[in-house]
Amino acid sequence: MTQETILKTRGLAKCFVTRLPFGSKKTLAVSGLDLEVKRGEIFGFLGPNGAGKTTTLNMIVGITEPSDGKIELFGKPFKIGNIEALARIGYVPETTSLPGYFTVVKLLDFYAQLFEIPLALRSRRIDSLLEMFGLVKEKNTLVENLSMGQVRLVDIMQALINDPELILLDEPTVYLDPLIMERFRNILMHLRESGKTIFMSSHSLPEIERLSDRIGVIDAGKLKKVGPKSEFLSGGSIEEEFLKIVKKEYV
Amino acid sequence: MFKWLKDIRFVVLISRDVARAALRERMMYGFLLLAFLFILMANVPFSVDDPKVFQGQSPVVSAVQIGFVSINIFTILITVFVSISTLQNYLSRQRLVLLLSKPVKRWHIIEGVMLGLFEMVFLNWFPMTSGIWLVIISQTRSLELYVWSGMSVTLLMSLLYVSLVVFFYMLIPNAVAGVLTIFLLIAGFGVPFARELFTDSSRHTFFSKIMSMALETLPKINELWGISMARLGLFRLEVSIYAVIAQTFAIIFILNLISCRKFRGFCRF
User: Between these two residues, B9 and A248, which has the higher pLDDT value?
Assistant: B9
Please name the member of A64, A95, A114 whose beta carbon is closest to the beta carbon of B102.
A114
Terminal C-alpha separation, chain A? 42
Residue A1 has what pLDDT? 47
Please name the member of B13, B24, B97 whose beta carbon is closest to the beta carbon of A63.
B97
Q: Would the CB atoms of B101 and A93 count as touching at under 8 Å?
A: yes
Contact A25, A218 (CB under 8 A): no
- Among left, alpha and beta (phi > 0; psi -120 to 50; other), residue B151 is alpha
Confidence of residue B201 (pLDDT cuts 50, 70, 90): low
Average pLDDT score over chain B? 88
Is residue A250's pLDDT more than 60?
no
Exposed (0-12), middle (13-18) or buried (19+): which is B201, by Cβ within 10 Å? exposed
Confidence of residue A41 (pLDDT cuts 50, 70, 90): very high
Kindly provide the ipTM of the predicted complex, given to two decimals.
0.89
Confidence of residue A91 (pLDDT cuts 50, 70, 90): very high
Q: Would the CB atoms of A115 and B103 count as touching at under 8 Å?
A: yes
Please name the member of B6, B20, B269 whose beta carbon is closest to the beta carbon of A58.
B269
Residue B110 has what pLDDT? 95
Q: Would the CB atoms of B17 and A62 count as touching at under 8 Å?
A: no
Q: Would the CB atoms of A81 and B13 count as touching at under 8 Å?
A: no
Residue B185 has what pLDDT? 84
3-state SS, B61-83, equals HHHHHHHHHHHHHHHHHHHHHHH
Sequence ranges of the domains in chain A: 1-88+164-251, 89-163
The answer, for A119 touching chain B at a CB cutoff of 8 Å, is no
Average pLDDT score over chain A? 90
Residue A206 has what pLDDT? 85
Tell me how crowded residue B196 is: count the other CB atoms within 10 A of its CB.
10
What's the whole-model pTM score? 0.89
All residues of chain A having their beta carbon less than 8 Å from the beta carbon of residue B13 are 110, 113-114
Q: Would the CB atoms of A81 and B106 count as touching at under 8 Å?
A: yes
Please name the residue of chain B whose CA is at the shortest distance from the CA of residue A54: B269
Say how far residue A129 (Cα) sits from the centre of its chain. 18
Give, to the nearest 10 degrees, the angle between helix B106-140 and helix B83-90.
150
**CA B268 – CA B261 distance, rounded (Å):** 12
The answer, for A62 touching chain B at a CB cutoff of 8 Å, is yes
pLDDT tens track for B31-90: 999 999 999 999 888 888 777 777 778 888 889 999 999 999 999 999 999 999 999 999
Q: Which CATH architecture has domain A1-88+164-251?
A: 3-Layer(aba) Sandwich (3.40)
Contact A57, B81 (CB under 8 A): no
